[in-house]
Structure 1
Amino acid sequence: MIQPFYRLLIELTNGRWTSFLLKRFARSKVSRFAVPSFARIYQLNQEDIENSFRDFPTLHDLFIRKLRKDARPIDKDSNSVVSPVDAVIEDIGPIKKTSEIVVKGKIYSIDEMLGNRSVLEKYLNGTYMILYLSPSHYHRIHSPVDGTITKQWTLGRKSYPVNKWGLKYGVRTLAKNYRVITEAETEFGHIAVVKVGAMFVNSIETTHKGSRLEKGEEMAYFSFGSTVVLLFEKGIFEMDSAIHTPKEIKVGEKLGTLQKSGT
């Protein structure tokens, strides 16, 4: 009985009032009694954190937990792109000249996802990658590259499920959900990190200060399971041969390499 309750709590769609009530519960002191069973059901790794699960005062604090400093080694290659999250790589593919991508058999528009025509142009004929975070994953988001933030903006109001069923049967979830988009310029070209909310309108909190990003540095966190979409400018990203879908990956592990466009 407990596992279906947690799945209902975390993974299903929600409206304004249900979102408010669930958010209030997760942040309440009462929710701390649910922390040990949640950790057990979702098989959270105690070795990744310094404290016991029983030390978290609320479910919300468990969701946004930090890890030991050495828990996620960052790939050191100067031109590597690393995973910004602990997640499952659900899909990788080309961005069409029409701005469309095909995810789980559904067509999404990068134009709609970004909501900015001036930004869109550089990603046409580029590459996208979708990384899904379940409730069991570490929820903090780190920079996949070294670079400089050129623009950051927020779009959308409500959030719907972004797990594999939400991607397959939802209505343009990646392009309609509440999302925070960070664009960064590297020495090879631009990438966009699209942080897509899955539950609660304000489930994405930005923690990074300043404009300079270092690979592996924390950028933000999700309060609940969600999705990160990486967009790469045309011709600058080469995927690592070990990457396939679906694939479990952790922060700091290599996704591929950046190269000068046309090389």
Structure 2
Amino acid sequence: MKKWIYRFLIELTNHQFLSKLLKSFTQSKISKPFIKSYAKLYELNQDEMMNELHTYSTLHDLFTRKLKLHAREITQDQNAVTSPVDGVIEDYGTITPSKEIIVKGKSYSIQEMIGDKTKIDKYIGGDFIILYLSPKHYHRIHSPVTGKLIKQYALGTKSYPVNRHGLKYGRSPLAKNYRVVSEVDHNKGSLLIVKVGAMFINSVECTALSDTWVKGEEIAYFSFGSTVVLLFEKNTFSLNKDIQTPKDVKMGELLGYLID
């Protein structure tokens, strides 16, 4: 019953009109009076922001804020894989032989998530990590490895919540939400970075200027809280043993290591 009620309410509210209305509001100057209370509510760290709070003209500007230089340290080990975002590690595990990942006890089809069955086989038996960004987090996305972008494409239209309740009760949001999939080749194999849009505002803006990505370089940003899924080719990644779930991480912190 709880699952049905949750899904019904989300379906009721997640319509294109409301999405556009909320997006228009956050990008309009009429949202400026809400910036101060938003920063207070979510306890934003203003000391690390590139700009002073009063200089942001809209809530969208605040959502997509940049940080001061050196506000985040990037682990420099060549084989280190770093967090692409500030967020919470909600789950991690192994991609099953049935081409699925199990998140919060729920199965997600990798084929449905990435929309390309020709790429799946080499990821079976590989690792996955789910990183959730709430509205309070820094919303810019950075490359977790140094490598070359092979392919990038968008899938999906609607966006359902990707928080803990959304992952548990929603209709497979990681595989159905609007998302941008990036395939990156690195010195040990391949990595898929799936940037999943959140409820209402499903915008994922890609900002990388070339197809050669350097670890820690900005590659995209979300317009609101959302989720990043990392999918590693089999036998190419070893998870940092200190990681448990849920775990708060900052962009640049160690997730694990690439292996031969």
TM-score with structure 2 length normalisation? 0.94
Higher mean Cα deviation, 136-145 or 116-125?
Answer: 116-125
User: Residues 182-241 of structure 1: CA distance to partner in whole angstroms, max 9, x if unpaired?
Assistant: 010011000010000003465100000221010000000000000000000001100111
CA offset digits 1:33-81 (Å, max 9, x no partner)? 0000000000000111132212110000000000001101100101000
Whether the 8 Å contact between 2:207 and 2:219 is mirrored in structure 1 is yes
Give the match for residue 115 of structure 2.
Answer: 115
What is residue 5 of structure 1 aligned with on the other side? none
Partners of 2:111 and 2:86 lie apart in 1 by: 27
Alpha-carbon separation, structure 1, partners of 2:100 and 2:119: 15
Say if 1:143 and 1:219, in contact at 8 Å, map to a contact too. yes
Question: Could you tell me whether the CA contact under 8 Å between 2:181 and 2:193 is conserved in 1?
Answer: yes
Asked if 1 retains the 8 angstrom alpha-carbon contact of 2:22 and 2:201, the reply is: no
Alpha-carbon contact 1:13-1:199 (below 8 Å) kept: no
Matches within 5 A, 1:215-254: 215-254=215-254
Q: Does 1:74 align with 2:60?
A: no
Root mean square deviation of aligned Cα: 1.1
1:20 and 2:30 aligned: no
Contact residue 158 and residue 201 of structure 1 kept, 8 A? no
Q: Which runs of 5+ in 1 are unaligned?
A: 1-11
Aligned to 1:134: 134
Moved more, 221-230 or 103-112: 103-112
Equivalent residue for 1:184?
184
Using the aligned pairs only, state the percent identity: 56
Normalised by the length of structure 1, the TM-score is 0.93
- Aligned-partner residue type, residue 24 of structure 1: S
Give the deviation of 1:253 after TM superposition: 0.4
Aligned residues: 249
Partner of 1:148: 148
Contact 1:133 1:225 survives alignment (8 Å): yes
| 129-138 or 95-104, larger mean C-alpha shift | 95-104
Contact 1:144 1:216 in 2 (8 A): yes
Relative distance call for 1:50 and 1:150 in structure 2 (3 A) is closer
Equivalent AA in structure 1 for residue 93 of structure 2: G
Contact 2:18 2:200 in 1 (8 A): no
Counterparts of 1:50 and 1:214, CA distance in 2: 21
1:162 is aligned with what amino acid? V
User: What code does the residue aligned with 1:103 have?
Assistant: V
- Deviation (angstroms), 1:154: 0.7
Query: 1:83 is matched with which residue?
Result: 83
Amino acid at match of 2:158: K
Read off the aligned partner of 2:198 and give its amino acid letter.
Answer: A
